Amino acid sequence: MPDASVAGLFRQTAQGVHHQLAEWLRICCTYLGIAVIVTVSMGFALPGLRDQALQVHKALLTALAPTSVSSGPFAESGYDPVYDTPSAVAMAIPAAPSSNATGFLGPLRSDLPPAPPKKRVRSTVSGPQVEALRNYISRKYRVAYDATSVLVSTVYKVAREKELDPLLLLAVIAIESRYNPFAESSVGAQGLMQVMTRVHQDKFDRLGDGMNNPLDPIANIRVGTTILKDCIDRRGSIDGGLACYVGATGPSDGGYGAKVQAERRRLALAAGIALARE
């Protein structure tokens, strides 16, 4: 009898374990099936959702700055842009800016000797180089590809006016805001080039034609470039100008200049563009 009781207990235990394992496997299979269905559904749905989001965002930015391209200071007759400029200014909005650069916090010292005159910068690029540059910016910073036309065209025009390397400006934008036209830092720096609006509002006002909005991408590029050019002229070098632009008052800029120069080299490498000698 004792042997029969032990055998019966063993069978009951085995049946209980088997039942629990079967129930666990059933639950796992159910959730696995749900996960597969969700994954497959997302795979079909995400590309369409992404395209719709980009279209909505392009329409939003076009509505916010409809006159900047067509009637602003960069639309003079006879301008030969790097390539045709579309009418929409549409940039994807990535994460928060990667630096707290303030775009020239205050007046520079006036006792510094003037910088020696420099040779005029002339930047010429081929069609394939422009396409490579646009593709790099679009992929790395999640910017709508159509928007890169306006962005790069504006940068090349302003760089030509200010006698600066366009890749330097594109690198500053990358480090300052990651191409987010609505970026704003904790200290009030705004836009693509993170300009301190409360310090430089007069520069926006002088642009005229309704371009006094620091979040307008074209206005922000122009004012930010003006500030950077002033910094470089006063400090006598690009590295010194970048330190000034980020608001560094001591010998160290916290690695800001190195970051900008590294991105500048990556832009040149991606597009096959030779960097201008400094």
pLDDT at 142: 94
Distance of CA 222 to the CA centre of its chain: 17
In the numeric block, the tokens 């910016």 are attached to 137
119 residue type, one letter: K
| Whole-angstrom distance, CA of residue 158 vs CA of residue 170 | 11
Tokens read off for 192: 């693509």
What residues make up the domain containing 143? 66-271
206 and 226 share one domain: yes
* In a domain? residue 277: no
pLDDT at 42 > cutoff 80 = no
The distance between the two most distant Cα atoms of the chain, rounded to a whole number of Å, is 110
156 and 256 share one domain: yes
Backbone φ and ψ for 184, nearest 5 degrees, come out as -145, 130
Q: Residue 8: enclosing H or E segment and its boundaries? A: helix 2-64
pLDDT at 55: 57
52 and 174 share one domain: no
pLDDT at 144 > cutoff 90 = yes
Bridge partner residues of 184 (DSSP):
190
196 and 255 share one domain: yes
Q: What share of the chain is helix, strand, coil (3-state, %, to 5)?
A: 60, 0, 40
Place 72 in a pLDDT band, splitting at 50, 70 and 90: very low
pTM as predicted:
0.61
| Whole-angstrom distance, CA of residue 232 vs CA of residue 161 | 15
The string of pLDDT tens digits covering residues 169-193 is 999 999 999 999 999 998 989 999 9
The alpha-carbon radius of gyration of the chain (Å, integer) is: 28
Domain stop point among 35, 64, 93: 64
Provide mean pLDDT across the span 88-113.
44
The residue among 264 and 110 whose pLDDT is bigger is 264
